Chains A and B, each alone.
Chain A
Amino acid sequence: MKLNFLDFEQPIAELEAKIEELRFVDSDNAINLSDEISRIEAKSRKLTESIFASLTSWQISQLARHPQRPQMPQYVERIFTDFEELHGDRCFGDDAAVIGGTARLEGRPVMLIGTVKGVDTKEKVRRNFGMPRPEGYRKALRLMQMAERFRLPIFTFIDTPGAYPGVGAEERGQSEAIARNLFAMSTLQTPIICTVIGEGGSGGALAIGVGDRVLMLQYSTYSVISPEGCASILWKSAAKAPEAAEIMAITSERLKGFGLIDEIIPEPLGGAHRDVDAMAREIKRALLASLGELKNTPTEKLLSMRYERLMHFGTYQESANKTTTLMM
């Protein structure tokens, strides 16, 4: 597959194009160019390393939404076996923006749930660009409750711009569907491990993001509103998105620093899309490690730890006087 380069990767793209050219010449020519090729390859790697060593939040946000960013199905086929997709919310329909079903992880049965954006245009439209409607969240809830019944640990994979803002979605109770998931996931009697693999867009991401462990791929993002949305509210201009990305703290590194996520899963050089197999191996390692820590925890302890974790989110000042009598 031909790689797609972002703006800030242009110097790398130029080198890669040169390598491509030389390879072409090399293949139908007597002159041996392999030394030259490996020299430029090394240069390209070095350049990539230096560019990726200091990415801005906005550049990471572009990587998280990269057109070739691997999506949940690509990881599922590499990490799990026997995936059996289960459809529908039993109330209204089947939302293709959310997929879920049973699978095995190293032989152990588990439940998988995730949001999927789609790869080509046709699939993107079918999956509504990864923006779930209430029936998507209700399908997720149904599968999570089923996992609880059959004692299957739950793995969720988050990659969504957010819940779909549409007329039908509102009519069918988008708010209630999200709220219900937050409510139910906090007491679900089975381990829940959530991984943000691309874009973690607001409430639509959180609705499958409440768990015992929250992991993020290195170049994924998780935010309360998209940088464009934030910019258009605060600066009245979506063009200020790069600034908004910076101040909102949406990258894995900053969020880990605040203790809002548990672990960063490192990505291959140049991002997950450069080497999906390597990325999948890293994710598998992280998921197995997290599950290993949780699987022998007694349910009661698991739930109280999950609760405490949620209660600790947020910083505030607290002054000495405990209660005040009220003056209206």
Chain B
Amino acid sequence: MSWFEKLLPSKIRTEGNGPKKTVPEGLWTKCESCASVLFRTELERNLDVCPKCNHHMRIGARQRLDHFLDAEPRTEIGAELAPVDALKFRDSKRYKDRLTQAHKDTGENDALIVVRGKLKGMPLVACAFEFRFMGGSMGAVVGERFVRAVNHCLEQRIPLVCFSASGGARMQEGLFSLMQMAKTSAALARLSERGIPFISVLTDPTMGGVSASLAMLGDVNVAEPKALIGFAGPRVIEQTVREVLPEGFQRAEFLMEHGTIDMIVNRHDMRDRIARLLAMLTHQS
């Protein structure tokens, strides 16, 4: 706090609790990157990519899968699973209440949606993280749904594609959530042994426990432009090394340069590029 702010009576201080930077639901949206004012419907038609500067905004899991998959057929896997509060976890709010709130905000009952469908006629299973559901955090339901996705791929011998967007493991589930990293990775090891392709698409943001497990284990790791991807959050690193991080640190382009991901693909090209890759990996024309 600067000396001037200290002089202000506490009622006037705005530190930390200024107006939240939210864009009101409405006709117009402002691009976070180039500040262009965009017509909402047009933006949606453009897959939530800014037509002016190609900034890829975060999109919901269902919207994501809707863009990605063929219109028919679609069957959801693991929708019958719902989270439980095994630890009776309570901080300033109860975990149960946080779940209820997240359900209200998103209409989902956990942070991963798994759908069996087709991509340009090729059957596959696609899953996507819903970042708005508790930061896309991975708890027992996310882990189990992911494993069911893998099992379905094993049974049907069809490829798996996962779009990740997550802050990491879900603290409110304690060590159970950490173990989901081991669980999902073990399932992917089986898929790999059987020679079934897994394409991991890392979208903004993919951090912590999700990044350090299933998201990095693709036969091909794809990222969306400028997506934030890493193990430790930039703030934690800044506090540890006590220096300002370089521009573009932990962004998709940075990861590509350091050999962590195979390619950066624009959202518009995602269907084409992944379909082409999968066709080659599964020996189809």
Contacts and interface: CB of A to CB of B under 8 A. Distances in A.
Interface of A: 163-167, 169-176, 178-180, 182-184, 186-187, 202-203, 206-207, 209-210, 222-225, 230, 233-235, 243-244, 247-250, 255, 258, 260, 306-307, 310-311, 313-326, 328
Contact of B174 (A178, A206, A209, A250): A250
B241 A310 contact: no
A249 B81 contact: no
A166 B241 contact: yes
B222 interface: no
A314 B143 contact: yes
Contacts of A250: 174-175
B92 A234 contact: yes
A183 B214 CA distance: 9
A87 B88 CA distance: 44
Contacts of B252: none
Query: A-B pairs with the 9 shortest C-beta distances?
Result: A314-B140, A165-B232, A186-B186, A182-B185, A313-B179, A234-B91, A174-B231, A178-B212, A179-B216
A295 B139 CA distance: 33
Contacts of A180: 216-217
Interface SS of chain A: helix, strand, loop or mixed?
mixed
Contacts of A234: 91-92, 171
Contacts of A174: 212, 230-232
B90 interface: yes
B276 to A, nearest CB: 24
Nearest to A323: B75
B281 interface: no
6 contacts: A174-B230, A175-B215, A187-B189, A250-B174, A318-B80, A321-B80
Contacts of B188: 183
Interface string B233-244: 100110011000
Contacts of B259: 173
B89 interface: yes
A167 B80 contact: no
Residue of A176, A244, A247, A316 with most chain B CB atoms under a 10 A cut-off: A316
B77 interface: yes
Contacts of A167: 237, 241, 245-246, 249
A316 B110 CA distance: 11
Given A173-B259, A324-B79, A179 B87 contact: no
Given A165-B237, A183-B192, A186-B185, 8 more contacts: A174-B212, A179-B217, A184-B189, A187-B189, A258-B175, A310-B183, A311-B183, A317-B84
A318 B81 contact: yes
Contacts of B246: 167
Nearest to A172: B258
B83 A317 contact: yes
A310 B187 CA distance: 9
Contacts of B265: none
B186 A170 contact: no
Given A166-B237, A170-B232, A313 B143 contact: yes
Contacts of A310: 179, 182-183, 186
A255 B86 CA distance: 12
Residue of B66, B139, B230 with most chain A CB atoms under a 10 A cut-off: B230
Contacts of B189: 183-184, 186-187
Contacts of A186: 182, 185-186, 189
Residue of A164, A173, A179 with most chain B CB atoms under a 10 A cut-off: A179
Contacts of A248: 87, 89, 171, 174-175
Residue of A224, A234, A255, A323 with most chain B CB atoms under a 10 A cut-off: A224
B231 A316 contact: no
Contacts of B76: 323-326
Contacts of A178: 181, 212-213, 231
B153 interface: no
